[in-house]
Amino acid sequence: MSYVEHVIQPGETLVYRAPLHWIVYAQGLVLAAVGVAILGYGLGMPAADPGGWQAVLRIALLAVGALVLLVAVISLTAAFIRRHTTEIAVTSRRAIYKTGVVRRITSEISVDKIETVLVDQGVLGRILNFGTIVIRGTGGGLEPVRNIGDPLTFRSKLTARP
How many domains does the structure of the chain reveal? 1
pTM score above 0.95: no
CB 132 within 8 A of CB 120: yes
Give the residue numbers spanning the domain of 59. 15-162
> In whole angstroms, what is the distance from residue 78 CA to residue 25 CA?
9
Whether residue 63 lies inside any domain: the answer is yes
Evaluate whether residue 102 is within a structural domain.
Answer: yes
Cα distance between residue 120 and residue 117, in whole Å: 10
- Please check whether residue 8 lies inside any domain of the structure: no
Residue-wise pLDDT tens digits, 122-154:
999 999 999 999 999 887 777 789 999 999 999
Residue ranges of the chain with pLDDT lower than 70? 48, 161-162
**What is the 8-class DSSP label of residue 120?**
E
